[in-house]
A = this chain, B = another copy of it.
């Protein structure tokens, strides 16, 4: 795709400072962009690349306009402007419509005529694939499941029986939605499996990263609300509910029956226990461990940053003495209070 710069500015909601008639056909980073590319500056650390850029135009915030040697597309959230421009300028990836000859599609499944079912897919009885949706090679859609319209399911995705996924979903390779939750009851030292009867409901505009797993509910459904964005290798336990427009980074684990609010951001390698609630607009920094309910919006953190190994060894040994140290400190204070 290509755009006149003036049209691109209008479409991304930016104010144009420069020549509206140059042609833009791609996005690029500041130091690699040529005259038909639009670059962007959204992070102050890349400011030094601005003055020497060869880009046709740069998307940036008002504070950087002065130093821009080429046409500028100015808006308050340049990263958002870049996202919009990149979407407009995306190459159109051709895909074959219809059902690949090697796919196994049950006669009791419903596939929209303009959907695309890749090689070696398996689409079971009673399942539905929406209009314009593509299912990548080797993916599996279990009985009675559905994927809404305009979705993009990559290769090697497993959607188990009774899972319902909304419109415009993006599921990356290796995603598993609807495997059994980890439900076991102890019977004198051995474990008895608890059958998992619930399903998974995934809203509209949800993206799920590679090899992420979302378990089906035990009795009720696991629910991922609209606009949720999940990175790779995330674990979502059974009966979890994730509120709309919450974003979660890679390698985070969420225990069963946790309820996560809306518009939360959860960074990477976070661990959230089951059977708790997290309020709307909570932000968790990387490696946070959440054992209990968070009732108030805010930024929360835990985890220990690295130290040089020898210092860490000395300091971490003291962690076992912390309660004792606190008691000794109190004793000294009492003694000194008694003195005075």
Using a Cβ–Cβ cut-off of 8 Å, how many residues does chain A contribute to the interface with B?
A: 127
- Which chain A residues (272-289) contact chain B, with CB distance < 8 Å? 273, 275, 284-289
> CA A311 – CA B302 in complex, angstroms?
10
Question: Given A185-B83, A302-B312, A306-B290, is A328 in contact with B319 using a C-beta cutoff of 8 Å?
Answer: no
Shortest Cβ distance from residue A189 to the other chain B in the assembled complex, whole angstroms = 6
| A195 lies within 8 A of chain B by Cβ | yes
Q: Which of B186, B235, B287 makes the CB contact (< 8 A) with A80?
A: B186
Q: Which of B137, B180, B213, B268 makes the CB contact (< 8 A) with A233?
A: B213
| A22 lies within 8 A of chain B by Cβ | no
Q: Which of B160, B184, B209, B219 makes the CB contact (< 8 A) with A28?
A: B219
Which residue on chain B has the smallest CB distance to residue A250?
B235
Shortest Cβ distance from residue A122 to the other chain B in the assembled complex, whole angstroms = 4
User: Which residues of the other chain, B, contact A294 by a CB distance below 8 angstroms?
Assistant: 306
User: Which residues of the other chain, B, contact A253 by a CB distance below 8 angstroms?
Assistant: 233, 250-251, 268-269
User: Which residues of the other chain, B, contact A215 by a CB distance below 8 angstroms?
Assistant: 210, 232
- Which chain A residues (65-118) contact chain B, with CB distance < 8 Å? 77, 79-80, 82-84, 86-87, 90, 93, 100, 102, 104, 118
Chain A 235-256: CB-based contact to B (< 8 A → 1; otherwise 0): 1010000000101011101010
> CA A180 – CA B267 in complex, angstroms?
17
| A173 lies within 8 A of chain B by Cβ | yes
> CA A42 – CA B232 in complex, angstroms?
34
**In contact, A158 and B182 (Cβ under 8 angstroms):** no
**In contact, A309 and B336 (Cβ under 8 angstroms):** no
Q: Which positions in A face B, CB cutoff 8 Å?
A: 27-29, 32, 43, 45, 77, 79-80, 82-84, 86-87, 90, 93, 100, 102, 104, 118-120, 122, 136-138, 140, 142, 154-156, 158, 160-161, 170, 172-174, 176, 179-180, 182-187, 189-195, 197, 205, 207, 209-211, 213, 215, 219-220, 227, 229, 231-233, 235, 237, 245, 247, 249-251, 253, 255, 263, 268-269, 271, 273, 275, 284-292, 294, 298-309, 311-323, 325-326, 328-329, 332-333, 335-336
**In contact, B321 and A326 (Cβ under 8 angstroms):** yes
Shortest Cβ distance from residue A275 to the other chain B in the assembled complex, whole angstroms = 8
**In contact, A213 and B210 (Cβ under 8 angstroms):** yes
Which residue on chain B has the smallest CB distance to residue A239?
B29
Tell me how many chains of this kind the complex includes. Answer: 3
**In contact, B213 and A211 (Cβ under 8 angstroms):** yes
> CA A172 – CA B251 in complex, angstroms?
19
**In contact, A213 and B209 (Cβ under 8 angstroms):** yes
Shortest Cβ distance from residue A147 to the other chain B in the assembled complex, whole angstroms = 16
26 chain-A/chain-B pairs, Cβ below 8 angstroms: A43-B275, A80-B192, A83-B192, A83-B194, A86-B194, A102-B102, A104-B120, A136-B140, A140-B155, A140-B156, A158-B173, A158-B174, A182-B209, A193-B229, A233-B253, A268-B273, A287-B289, A289-B303, A294-B306, A300-B306, A302-B303, A307-B319, A315-B319, A315-B320, A325-B329, A332-B332
